[in-house]
């Protein structure tokens, strides 16, 4: 499976400004979240990016991409018709090829010193030769924010699961009844990481969903992924890393702290944090 293109979605009303936010990366450089995302993907060998944006926001995203603006192909989502619809808007860009899908309001921090999160997922997809979604064990208190999957660990595969069920933002009761994954701690479920390798079948299914949807309807991605699991081999992969949803309360702060603590200015940042904690105690 050769993956040459990436799609980044950033058209949602509550999402579109987040990739434009500036952070300091692990090298101490100030960059927009979008540029940090792009540079993560470039290490996989992918060099073309389809960015799904709201009408009129292309110039802001070009600036946020920094030196990578020429790699961007913009696709406008002209109406707020759901995340699945936003992904489908990029079907002309992806064609019939598999592609990396990422959300524009997440940043990632790998625990591996050799490979970032995108590299881990792309290599897993190439090895397994099928669609694969990154997942992270997530406490049930966070279920309202993420899609979740149920399935079984493949024998002899570390962190690779055969997906049998996909549910968008399940309640804890629903999760307990339908998507228990053996081996996870009680109260934890495999939730989407914000990063997928998807096949052309997904675009076909999304196209069918868009055609079925009435005016002002919304097309979600999770039901399509649930159908994908019934159509073809579809896996989940636990990566050596962590996602940071910068759209959550304090999400941008937590992402910045994670980058700083794992970067070249770690000692200075830790010293400042200790100082702040000491002031609080006083």
Cβ-based burial of 96 (10 A; exposed 0-12, middle 13-18, buried ≥19): exposed
The C-alpha atoms of residue 108 and residue 243 are separated, in whole angstroms, by 5
Q: What does the pLDDT average to over 187-214?
A: 94
Alpha carbon distance 130, 26 (integer Å)? 32
Higher pLDDT, 271 or 114: 271
Mean per-residue pLDDT for 64-69? 97
Using a pLDDT cut of 90, give the percent of the chain over it: 80
pLDDT bucket at 214, cuts 50 / 70 / 90: confident
Residue 110 DSSP SS3: strand
Q: Is the pLDDT of residue 236 over 90?
A: yes
Asked if 278 contacts 156 with a C-beta cutoff of 8 angstroms, the reply is no
The Cα 51–Cα 222 span in angstroms is: 20
262: tokens are 């794992």
Mean pLDDT of the chain: 93
Rounded Cα gap, residues 275 and 132, in angstroms: 44
- Local confidence band at 106 (pLDDT 50, 70, 90 cut-offs): very high
What pLDDT band is residue 114 in, cutting at 50, 70 and 90? confident
DSSP 213: P
The mean per-residue pLDDT over the stretch 182-204 comes to: 93
Q: Does residue 15 have a pLDDT over 90? A: no
| Sequence-ordered list of residues with C-beta below 8 angstroms from that of 79, at least 6 positions apart, any chain | 85
CB 191 within 8 A of CB 54: no
- What is d(CA 210, CA 138) in angstroms, rounded to the nearest whole number? 30
Residues 6+ away with beta carbon under 8 Å from 249:
none
- What span, in angstroms and rounded, lies between the C-alpha atoms of 22 and 18? 9
Handedness of CA 174, 175, 176, 180 (dihedral sign): positive
pLDDT at 20 over 80: yes
* Distance from C-alpha of 14 to C-alpha of 33, rounded to nearest angstrom: 15
pLDDT at 256: 95
* Residue 30 neighbours by CB under 8 Å, 6+ apart: 22, 23, 24
Per-residue pLDDT at 112 exceeds 80? no
Strand-pair category, 160-168 with 131-139:
unpaired
Mean pLDDT of 216-239: 93
- Distance, in Å, from the CA atom of 6 to the CA atom of 17, rounded to the nearest integer, reads 20
Which of 131, 127, 204, 125 lies closest to 166 in space, CA to CA? 131
Looking at residue 282, what is its pLDDT?
Answer: 67
> What pLDDT does residue 31 have?
97
Give 224's contacts (C-beta < 8 A, 6+ positions apart): 84, 202, 205, 206, 209
- Per-residue confidence (pLDDT) for residue 32, from 0 to 100: 97
Residues 21-31 have a mean pLDDT of 95
Task: Please report the domains of the chain, with CATH numbers, ordered by start residue.
Answer: 5-131+193-220+236-281 (3.90.550.10)
Cα 37 to Cα 107: distance, rounded to the nearest angstrom? 7
């Amino acid at each position: 499976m050769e993956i040459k293109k990436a799609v980044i979605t950033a058209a949602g009303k509550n999402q579109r400004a987040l990739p434009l936010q500036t952070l300091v990366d692990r090298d101490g450089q100030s960059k927009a979240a979008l540029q940090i995302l792009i540079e993560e993907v470039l290490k996989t060998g992918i060099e073309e990016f389809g960015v799904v944006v709201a009408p009129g926001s292309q110039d802001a995203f070009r600036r946020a991409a920094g030196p990578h603006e020429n790699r961007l192909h913009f696709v406008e989502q002209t109406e707020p018709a759901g995340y699945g619809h936003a992904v489908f808007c990029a079907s002309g860009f992806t064609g019939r090829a598999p592609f990396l899908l990422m959300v524009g309001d997440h940043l990632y921090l790998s625990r591996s010193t050799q490979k970032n999160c995108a590299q881990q997922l792309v290599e897993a997809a190439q090895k397994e030769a099928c669609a694969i979604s990154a997942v992270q064990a997530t406490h049930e208190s966070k279920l309202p924010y993420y899609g979740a999957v149920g399935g079984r660990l493949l024998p002899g595969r570390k962190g690779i699961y055969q997906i049998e069920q996909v549910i968008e933002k399940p309640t804890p009761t629903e999760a307990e009844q339908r998507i228990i994954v053996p081996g996870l701690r009680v109260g934890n479920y495999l939730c989407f990481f914000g990063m997928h390798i998807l096949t052309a079948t997904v675009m076909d299914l999304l196209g069918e969903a868009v055609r079925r949807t009435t005016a002002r309807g919304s097309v979600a991605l999770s039901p399509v992924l649930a159908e994908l699991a019934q159509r073809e081999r579809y896996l989940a992969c636990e990566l050596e890393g962590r996602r940071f949803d910068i759209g959550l309360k304090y999400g941008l702060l937590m992402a910045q702290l994670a980058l700083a603590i794992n970067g070249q200015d770690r000692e200075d940042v830790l010293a400042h944090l200790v100082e702040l904690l000491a002031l609080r105690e006083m």
